[in-house]
Amino acid sequence: MAYEEACKLKHAYSVATTAPNFTHTPPKADWEIKNNTTYLYYVPNETINGVRFNKIPAVNTIPLIADMTSCLLSEPINVADFGLIFAGAQKNISIAGLTIVIVRNDLLKNEASPVIPTMLDYRTHVMHDSLYATPPGFNCYIAHKMFQWIKAQGGVEALYQINRQKAAALYEYIDESSFYTCRVEGDSRSIVNVCFSIVKSELEAEFVKQAKEHGLYALQGHRTVGGLRASLYNAMPIEGVKALISFMQDFSKEHSK
């Protein structure tokens, strides 16, 4: 979707893709970065198929732009590796409607193209201390509360360790099981969106229904790909993952007879 939008403004091209399967990130050897490329855009964690870049793409001098909507504050990052980071607030930070942008100062020196509306020119927001128009105050208040909560948990590093444990426990159970399966390759697996399916896929609707009865919600995969998905953002405690695994064990026993 970002690619299609970029095409409306400038000449955009795809550096690499694993479409239509998305079972791993595209290997570096397959990337084709053309001369005169202004920036490289990528999504470190993709939520629909549960695919994650486990390394930051090394692109030398080309500014790297990252949509971190689903992963900002779920793991430590080196901000200096990026030209621009942005994230919608709705996963780990606040309510939908607030967007966080971290941009390198030197990238703000260039005049924006005249077709860019003033409101979408990042320099406008820098010049006005993010108050060019009235910001969504309640969303900012919730973000502030969330930042305090993250600090109280021991910070992003502590949450990252918990996030890794949550994902590892669930993938380990899925891999051991012959009832459930995960098609994403090991080193490309998201630590916050665990996408999986039941080998007998006709049981998935019943799985979602019974899970709800056990207080386990939102396990349906994204409508465009189907299957099942457990999103394990910062707000999900490890107890939630344990409860899910326990339910999955019971469900598989009941339906393997």
Q: Which residues bind ligand PLP (CB under 6 A)?
A: 43, 47, 67, 69-70, 88, 90-91, 96
Q: Taking the C-alpha atoms of 96, 97, 102 and 104 in order, what is their torsion angle to the nearest 10 degrees? A: 140
State how far the Cα of 138 lies from the Cα of 133, in Å rounded to an integer: 15
Torsion angle, alpha carbons of 90, 93, 94, 99, to 10: -70
Residue nearest to ligand PLP (CB): 70
Asked if residues 205 and 213 have their Cβ atoms less than 8 Å apart, the reply is: no
Residue 6 beta carbon to ligand PLP: minimum distance, rounded to whole angstroms? 14
Nearest distance, CB of residue 67 and ligand PLP, angstroms: 4
Please say which residue, 33 or 96, places its beta carbon nearer to ligand PLP: 96
Q: Which lies closer to ligand PLP via its Cβ, residue 72 or residue 216?
A: 72
d(CA 44, CA 55): 9
| Minimum distance of ligand PLP from residue 257's CB (angstroms) | 38
Q: Return the number of the residue (47 or 163) whose C-beta is nearest ligand PLP.
A: 47
CB closer to ligand PLP, 46 vs 204: 46
Across 89-100, b (16+ Cβ under 10 Å) vs e yields bbbbbbeeebeb
For the CB of residue 49, give the shortest distance to ligand PLP in the complex, in Å. Answer: 12
